[in-house]
């Protein structure tokens, strides 16, 4: 009897600049069998970012690409080194989870249609930094989060999924952000599973 062949997990790299809460959620979804993937590499632009602790705890390779020349992006040389590292680790899908650098040509060209980001607003509303604060300042009554493909713009790529979060009376930027993060932790693994299934259609 021929048993059905098990799908090989999609090899992800998670890029982050902070604590890595979405990275931890993705890892939990993988361990629970809810996401047919493996995190093969964790990358940060901050050598001591909290996301490095997740890599250490889970025995996942971790690389840091710090940048001093530019505040919002990597130099072309550094991003090219990052691309080489992703290739060396057999990465199929690049996942931005709180990564605070704008992605430029070397990485976009190397992984066309294979870079996804999660953003804490209902795009196209409130792109850029501190979207939850933008929502509070604008008097919005609803916010949320968006998973989207990454392109040359700022949070302007094709939208893959969204989840709404109401802005409650008395909300602060901090309280709204906390509830948006809960929505992120639900939405991100769901969309990633859809993408991973699309990458393994015939297995």
Question: Is residue 1 in some structural domain?
Answer: no
Number of domains in the chain: 1
| 148 a catalytic residue | no
Question: Is residue 106 in some structural domain?
Answer: yes
118-137 pLDDT, tens digit per residue, is 999 999 999 999 999 999 99
Its pTM stands at 0.92
What residue ranges in 45-107 does DSSP mark as E strands?
62-64, 93-96
The CATH code of the domain that includes 191 is: 3.40.50.170
Q: Could you tell me the two tokens for 180?
A: 């948006």
Question: Is residue 2 in some structural domain?
Answer: no
What residue ranges in 1-79 does DSSP mark as E strands?
10-15, 37-44, 62-64
Question: Is residue 119 in some structural domain?
Answer: yes
Question: Is residue 4 in some structural domain?
Answer: no
User: For tokens 């809460």, what's the residue?
Assistant: 21
In which domain, by residue range, is 117 found?
Answer: 10-199
55-95 pLDDT, tens digit per residue, is 999 999 999 998 878 888 899 999 999 999 999 999 999 99
**If pLDDT is split at 50, 70 and 90, which confidence band does 1 have?**
very low
Residue among 89, 119, 177, 186 flagged as catalytic: 119
The pLDDT, as a whole number, for residue 5 is 57
């Amino acid at each position: 009897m021929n048993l059905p062949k098990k799908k090989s997990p999609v090899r992800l790299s998670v890029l982050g600049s902070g604590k890595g809460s979405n990275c931890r959620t993705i890892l939990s979804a993988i361990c629970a069998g809810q996401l047919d993937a493996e995190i093969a590499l964790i990358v940060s632009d901050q050598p001591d970012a909290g996301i490095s602790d997740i890599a250490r705890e889970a025995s996942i390779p971790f690389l840091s690409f710090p940048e001093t020349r530019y505040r919002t992006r990597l130099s072309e040389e550094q991003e090219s080194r990052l691309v080489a590292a992703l290739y060396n680790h057999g990465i199929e899908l690049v996942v931005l989870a709180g990564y605070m650098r704008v992605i430029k040509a070397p990485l976009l060209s190397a992984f066309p249609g294979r870079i996804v980001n999660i953003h804490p607003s209902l795009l196209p509303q409130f792109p850029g930094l501190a979207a939850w604060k933008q929502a509070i300042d604008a008097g919005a009554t609803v916010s949320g989060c968006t998973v989207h493909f990454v392109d040359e713009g700022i949070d302007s790529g094709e939208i893959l999924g969204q989840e709404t979060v109401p802005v409650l009376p008395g909300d602060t930027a901090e309280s709204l952000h906390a509830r948006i993060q809960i929505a992120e932790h639900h939405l991100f693994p769901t969309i990633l599973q859809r993408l991973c299934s699309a990458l393994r259609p015939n297995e």
